[in-house]
Amino acid sequence: MSSPKGAKAAASKSPVSKSPASKSPASKAKAAPRAAAKPAPAAKKAAARKAPSRAKAGDGDPTPAQKAAFLKALAGGVKPNSAALRKLEEKKGGAFAPSPPAPQRKVEVLRRIPAPAPRLETPETKDALRIAALIESGLARGELDKVQPHAQQALAAALCRLYAANHEMGERYPILTAQGAPVTATDVMVMCGALLKAVDLQVFELGMWQSWSSG
């Protein structure tokens, strides 16, 4: 069974960011801050292979040799210094536009695309997260009876109703996240089976309901 946790472990082979979002302390330690202007290794390698002169990359724009090599690779056979190349340069203007003059120029804000509404940490959310953490830590210690069945029933019922009500209102979000505790397929089948049984539903009825409501 592929768990999101496994995915994380394999993914840590690739350069991991130094962003605060990165949760693993190990990957944090490994992350080397990369100078912004330094060309990517792949690009550098390609330039060294293709460029007529082994020009060293500067801090800002690519060197003319790098530009030519890049365009050649991109276009697969367009000859350097040809009219064809100039046309392509013109088209790819974003990357290869001539260096802008130094003096201060007018900065015009075309669009400001705001950050999405933040995730609200309401008091109720905090309480719910605290209870979830409590249950998780008990599970980790193998303490299965600390949260008694009647409390589990109350939690399951409330969560079921809350999720369904949001869903009905068009607020669709996954019930489990990749970052959460690893829930296995078996866990899901056991829980879903119990929920269906609790309301006297057969699996085929679930299937029928889903096919009717898919619209």
Partner 1 sequence: MDLIADRGRRVTVEELNTTKLLAHAAKQVKDRKFDDVLIVDTDAHHYENENFAEILPYMENEVLKQLALSSRAKGGRGNVMPSGFGYQDMGGRVTRYPLRASEKTDDKRQRDAQLGDRWMNAMGVDYSCLFPTGMLNVGLHPQKEMEFELCWAYARWVTEKALPDTNGRMYTMLCLPFSDPEGSLRMVETFGDRKGVGGFMITSVREKMSVSDNAYMKVYRAIEERGLAIAFHSGPNWGSNTFQSCNRFLSAHALGFSWFNILHCTNWVVNGMGERFPKLPVLWIEAGLAWIPFLMQRLDHEYMLRPSECPVLKKKPSDYMRDMFYTSQPMEIQDMEALETTFRMINAETQLLYASDYPHWDFDLPSTIWDLPFLTDKARHNILGGTAHKLFKLPPRNEAQKQNLVKYGNYVGG
Partner 2 sequence: MAEQFVGKASEFKDGERQIIRIGEDEIGVFRHAGAFYAYSNFCLHQGGPACEGLTIARVIEPLREDKTSMGLHFHESDMNFVCPWHGYEYDMKTGEHVADRRIKLRKYDVVQKGDEVYVLA
Point out which residues bind partner 2 (CB under 8 A): 2, 4, 6-11, 14, 16-17, 19-24, 34, 36-37, 40, 42-43, 46, 60-61, 70, 73-74, 91-97, 99-100, 102-116, 178-179
Binder among 16, 31, 75, 147 for partner 1 (CB under 8 A): 75
60 binds partner 1 (CB under 8 A): no
Length of the chain: 215
Q: How many residues bind partner 1 (CB under 8 A)?
A: 24
- What residues numbered 127-186 form the site for partner 1, per CB under 8 A? 173-174, 177-179
Query: How many other C-beta atoms can be found within 10 angstroms of the C-beta atom of residue 66?
Result: 22
Q: What angle do CA 105, 107, 112 make, to 5 degrees?
A: 170
Q: Please, what is the minimum distance in Å from the beta carbon of residue 120 to partner 2?
A: 15
Q: Are residues 28 and 18 in contact, defined by beta-carbon separation less than 8 angstroms? A: yes
Q: Are residues 4 and 178 in contact, defined by beta-carbon separation less than 8 angstroms? A: yes
77 binds partner 1 (CB under 8 A): yes
Please say which residue, 119 or 141, places its beta carbon nearer to partner 1.
Answer: 119
Q: Please, what is the minimum distance in Å from the beta carbon of residue 16 to partner 2?
A: 6
Count CA within 13 A, CB hemisphere, residue 185: 3
Distance in angstroms (rounded) separating the CA atoms of residues 60 and 191 = 56
Q: Please, what is the minimum distance in Å from the beta carbon of residue 25 to partner 2?
A: 13
24 binds partner 1 (CB under 8 A): no
Of these partners, partner 1, partner 2, none, which one is at the site of residue 82 (CB under 5 to 8 Å by kind)? Answer: partner 1
Count CA within 13 A, CB hemisphere, residue 165: 6
Please say which residue, 6 or 207, places its beta carbon nearer to partner 2.
Answer: 6
Question: In sequence order, which residues have a C-beta less than 8 Å from that of residue 62 and are 6 or more positions away?
Answer: 39, 47, 70, 96
Of these partners, partner 2, partner 1, none, which one is at the site of residue 65 (CB under 5 to 8 Å by kind)? Answer: none
Please say which residue, 91 or 141, places its beta carbon nearer to partner 2.
Answer: 91
81: left (phi over 0), alpha (psi -120 to 50) or beta: left
Dihedral angle at the C-alpha atoms of 125, 175, 149, 183, nearest 10 degrees? -120
Distance in angstroms (rounded) separating the CA atoms of residues 65 and 55 = 7
Binder among 88, 156, 160, 196 for partner 1 (CB under 8 A): 88
Binding-site ranges for partner 1 (CB under 8 A): 75-78, 82-85, 87-88, 90-91, 111, 113-117, 173-174, 177-179, 212
